[in-house]
Amino acid sequence: MSFANSLSSGRATLTGGWYRFERVPFRGLLLQQLASEQGSVEKTIVFSSKEIEKATESFGLDKVLGHCGQGTMYKGILDDGMLVAVKNSKVVDGDKLEEFVNEVVILSQINHRNIVKILGCC
Protein backbone atom coordinates (compact mmCIF):
# COMPACT_ATOMS: atom_id res chain seq x y z
CA MET A 1 0.00 0.00 0.00
CA SER A 2 1.23 3.47 -0.63
CA PHE A 3 -0.01 7.01 -0.42
CA ALA A 4 1.26 10.47 -1.08
CA ASN A 5 2.08 12.63 1.86
CA SER A 6 0.85 16.15 1.33
CA LEU A 7 3.00 17.70 4.04
CA SER A 8 6.01 19.73 3.11
CA SER A 9 8.27 21.82 5.25
CA GLY A 10 8.54 25.51 4.60
CA ARG A 11 6.70 26.71 1.52
CA ALA A 12 4.85 24.15 -0.51
CA THR A 13 6.70 23.83 -3.78
CA LEU A 14 4.61 21.01 -5.21
CA THR A 15 1.20 21.65 -6.66
CA GLY A 16 -0.46 18.37 -5.84
CA GLY A 17 -0.33 15.20 -3.83
CA TRP A 18 -1.55 11.64 -4.26
CA TYR A 19 -2.60 8.77 -2.12
CA ARG A 20 -1.95 5.45 -3.74
CA PHE A 21 -3.04 2.11 -2.47
CA GLU A 22 -3.57 -1.28 -3.98
CA ARG A 23 -5.67 -3.29 -1.52
CA VAL A 24 -9.35 -3.05 -2.31
CA PRO A 25 -10.59 -3.11 1.34
CA PHE A 26 -8.39 -0.11 2.20
CA ARG A 27 -9.51 1.76 -0.89
CA GLY A 28 -13.20 1.15 -0.21
CA LEU A 29 -12.91 2.24 3.41
CA LEU A 30 -11.05 5.39 2.45
CA LEU A 31 -13.49 6.37 -0.28
CA GLN A 32 -16.40 5.73 2.09
CA GLN A 33 -14.80 7.96 4.74
CA LEU A 34 -14.02 10.68 2.19
CA ALA A 35 -17.63 10.61 0.98
CA SER A 36 -18.97 11.02 4.51
CA GLU A 37 -16.56 13.87 5.30
CA GLN A 38 -16.80 15.71 1.97
CA GLY A 39 -20.33 14.84 0.99
CA SER A 40 -18.95 13.51 -2.27
CA VAL A 41 -15.87 11.66 -3.43
CA GLU A 42 -15.85 13.79 -6.58
CA LYS A 43 -13.31 16.07 -4.90
CA THR A 44 -10.93 13.13 -4.60
CA ILE A 45 -9.77 11.75 -7.94
CA VAL A 46 -9.16 8.02 -8.25
CA PHE A 47 -6.07 7.46 -10.39
CA SER A 48 -4.92 4.20 -11.93
CA SER A 49 -1.64 2.58 -10.91
CA LYS A 50 -0.44 3.11 -14.47
CA GLU A 51 -1.04 6.87 -14.21
CA ILE A 52 1.01 7.05 -11.01
CA GLU A 53 3.80 4.90 -12.40
CA LYS A 54 3.92 7.04 -15.55
CA ALA A 55 3.97 10.27 -13.52
CA THR A 56 6.90 9.04 -11.41
CA GLU A 57 8.66 7.19 -14.23
CA SER A 58 8.09 3.87 -12.42
CA PHE A 59 9.19 5.34 -9.08
CA GLY A 60 12.67 6.00 -10.46
CA LEU A 61 15.51 6.67 -8.04
CA ASP A 62 16.09 10.05 -9.69
CA LYS A 63 12.52 10.99 -8.70
CA VAL A 64 13.03 10.44 -4.95
CA LEU A 65 12.34 13.62 -2.98
CA GLY A 66 13.00 12.11 0.42
CA HIS A 67 12.20 9.46 2.98
CA CYS A 68 10.12 9.56 6.13
CA GLY A 69 9.03 7.06 8.75
CA GLN A 70 6.04 6.03 6.68
CA GLY A 71 7.54 5.72 3.20
CA THR A 72 9.33 7.38 0.31
CA MET A 73 8.31 10.59 -1.46
CA TYR A 74 8.64 10.88 -5.24
CA LYS A 75 8.35 13.74 -7.70
CA GLY A 76 5.81 13.14 -10.43
CA ILE A 77 4.36 14.99 -13.40
CA LEU A 78 0.82 14.32 -14.61
CA ASP A 79 -0.11 14.19 -18.28
CA ASP A 80 -1.42 17.76 -18.02
CA GLY A 81 1.97 18.94 -16.71
CA MET A 82 0.93 19.33 -13.07
CA LEU A 83 3.77 18.70 -10.63
CA VAL A 84 2.80 16.25 -7.87
CA ALA A 85 4.31 14.57 -4.83
CA VAL A 86 3.71 10.83 -4.58
CA LYS A 87 4.28 8.91 -1.39
CA ASN A 88 4.97 5.20 -1.64
CA SER A 89 4.14 4.18 1.89
CA LYS A 90 5.05 1.20 3.98
CA VAL A 91 2.31 -1.38 4.36
CA VAL A 92 -0.39 -0.36 6.82
CA ASP A 93 -1.50 -3.25 9.02
CA GLY A 94 -5.01 -3.67 10.38
CA ASP A 95 -4.15 -1.89 13.62
CA LYS A 96 -3.04 1.24 11.75
CA LEU A 97 -5.83 1.23 9.15
CA GLU A 98 -8.08 3.71 10.94
CA GLU A 99 -5.15 6.04 11.61
CA PHE A 100 -4.15 5.84 7.94
CA VAL A 101 -7.68 6.57 6.69
CA ASN A 102 -8.09 9.48 9.13
CA GLU A 103 -4.80 11.00 7.98
CA VAL A 104 -5.85 10.80 4.34
CA VAL A 105 -9.24 12.38 5.08
CA ILE A 106 -7.76 15.19 7.17
CA LEU A 107 -5.03 15.98 4.64
CA SER A 108 -7.56 15.99 1.80
CA GLN A 109 -9.51 18.75 3.59
CA ILE A 110 -6.64 21.00 4.60
CA ASN A 111 -6.05 24.21 2.69
CA HIS A 112 -2.80 25.81 3.85
CA ARG A 113 0.10 27.38 1.96
CA ASN A 114 2.61 25.02 3.61
CA ILE A 115 0.63 21.86 2.90
CA VAL A 116 0.28 20.40 -0.55
CA LYS A 117 -3.31 19.65 -1.54
CA ILE A 118 -4.17 15.98 -2.03
CA LEU A 119 -5.55 15.38 -5.49
CA GLY A 120 -6.60 11.77 -5.18
CA CYS A 121 -5.83 8.16 -4.59
CA CYS A 122 -5.32 4.91 -6.42
Please, what are the domains in the chain? 17-121 (3.30.200.20)
pLDDT of residue 102: 74
Gap between the Cα atoms of 29 and 78, Å rounded: 26
Block mean pLDDT (10 aa), the chain, length 122: 35 39 51 58 70 92 88 89 84 70 75 78 72
CA 46 to chain centre: 10
Estimate the crossing angle of helix 97-109 against helix 24-38, to 10 degrees. 40
Indicate the pTM of the whole model: 0.63
